[in-house]
Amino acid sequence: MNTTPRGNRLHIALFGRRNAGKSSLINALTNQELAIVSEFAGTTTDPVYKSMEILPLGPVVVIDTAGLDDTGELGELRVAKSLEVLAKTDLALIVMDVENGCGEPEQEIAALCAEKKIPVIAVINKQDQAKAAPEQLAAWQGALQAAEMVSVSALQRKGIGDLKIAMVKTAPLLFEQPTIVGDLLQPGDTAVLVTPIDLAAPKGRLILPQVQVIRDILDSDAMAYVVKERELKECLGNLKNKPRIVITDSQAFLKADADTPPDVLLTSFSILFARYKGDLETLVKGAKALLALKPGDRVLMSEGCTHHRVEDDIGTVKIPRWIRQYVGGELEFSWSSGTTLPKDLSSYQVVVHCGACMLNRRDMLARMMAAQQPQVPIVNDGVAIAALQGILPRALSPFPQLVDLL
């Protein structure tokens, strides 16, 4: 894989009124003509996601949004879509010009950012047309609770260096966990990865979480052995020294558990990603609610992307079947996929979420918070499978402090 996955990139969203110059600013930041620019207001409609490199920040996703002052029934829908972007935003740029200044649209989005603890940079664009007095700029910065305020001309590409410096200073240091598995390994350790060939993966390729774990192991100066589930026992027998950890696809948990010595750590890709992208403790607590389900209860199965569904799909077929078997009766399942959860989760007894490999950490945490507000437990696929198969304590062996929650 020669590009950083979108879920691992800093997400920078640009908000502002129509024709404030958000798209022009993206072009200036990247020194490329990536975004469509027009003198007519409302050129950008739905949010547009662009993966790119912005030095010295590195790999980022820049999100261009519709104007906050869009009008009419369709305009209101566009604004609502722009506000949904906040769930995955790590850094917000509120773009305005001197003519319109800092009014209600800018202050409302700034208040939402403050509520969600998203750092804000105020960007005064079109400095080639008009300049504001220093005291006016200070008042606007205070009104927006902005960590930084920068004046630029996106058209003339002036002030862009100052803006990049402000972005480096303001960007959150820990928008994602620093490692997936590296903190469990010492240089020279061995990790064995159990990777059944996933029919949903493109031909000739591993799925994204497997690739990311392999890279993280190598970055930790450890060694990775990759086997299919039927080869695990032979691989362990051929190793001169026992591995530090066995990491398995959740669907091969029982086979991996049977073949892995009890003094070797065992977990799954999905459990590692539950910690990397979300909050593992909360998801482990959600497993208790999963095991307490009764016939007739409502369960939401949620996917963070819209991947191609295959026969016997894990989220739509296998896990619901295992839950029915465990409960001993029929339940009411609903499914959601894509960028947001359903607005009302209060009628569900539990949410079962995917491993979030295509989401960033802020987005996954926002989804968990959305479930927790109506006090609906949430669990992810890997934790759920281990719990349903009765081996969750074993699957949490790298994290013994969490076993006490069961």
pLDDT digits (tens, 9 = 90+) for 292-301: 999 999 999 9
pLDDT at 150 over 80: yes
Residue 258 CA, chain-centre distance (Å), reads 33
pLDDT at 157 over 80: yes
pLDDT at 201: 54
The mean-pLDDT minimum among 162-171, 201-210, 213-222, 282-291 falls in 201-210
pLDDT at 101: 92
pLDDT digits (tens, 9 = 90+) for 190-233: 999 999 876 555 566 788 889 999 999 999 999 999 999 999 99
CA distance 253 to 271: 12
pLDDT at 36: 46
Token pair belonging to 370: 């959305």
> Average pLDDT of 175-189?
85
pLDDT at 47: 87
Q: Which residues contact 123 (CB under 8 A, 6 or more apart)?
A: 25, 93, 94, 95, 96, 149, 150, 151, 152, 163
Residue 289 CA, chain-centre distance (Å), reads 24
Query: What would you report as the CA-atom Rg of the chain, rounded to the nearest whole angstrom?
Result: 24
pLDDT at 3 over 90: no
Residue 358 CA, chain-centre distance (Å), reads 6
Q: Which residues contact 361 (CB under 8 A, 6 or more apart)?
A: 7, 175, 176, 177, 276, 277, 278
pLDDT at 308: 56
Residue 392 CA, chain-centre distance (Å), reads 24
pLDDT at 1: 39
Residue 386 CA, chain-centre distance (Å), reads 23
Token pair belonging to 43: 């050129």
pLDDT at 2: 45
Percent of the chain with pLDDT over 90: 61
pLDDT at 392: 97
pLDDT at 244: 98
> What rounded mean pLDDT belongs to the chain?
88
pLDDT at 271: 95
pLDDT at 307: 59
pLDDT digits (tens, 9 = 90+) for 362-392: 778 778 878 887 999 999 999 999 999 999 9
**Total residues found in the chain within this entry:** 406
What the chain holds in terms of domains, given with CATH numbers, is 6-170 (3.40.50.300), 182-272 (3.40.50.11420), 278-393 (3.40.50.11410)
DSSP-assigned beta bridge partners for residue 190? 223
pLDDT digits (tens, 9 = 90+) for 5-57: 777 788 999 999 999 999 899 988 887 665 444 454 445 557 888 888 776 56
> Average pLDDT of 324-336?
96
The mean-pLDDT minimum among 35-39, 151-155, 162-166 falls in 35-39
CA distance 328 to 313: 21
> Average pLDDT of 94-121?
94
The pLDDT confidence band at residue 238, using thresholds 50, 70 and 90, is very high
Give this prediction's pTM: 0.68
pLDDT at 310 over 70: no
Greatest Cα-to-Cα distance within the chain, rounded to the nearest angstrom: 74
pLDDT at 311 over 90: no
pLDDT at 159: 92
Other Cβ atoms within 10 Å of 203 Cβ, number: 5
* Strand intervals (E) in 65-215: 91-97, 120-125, 148-151, 190-194
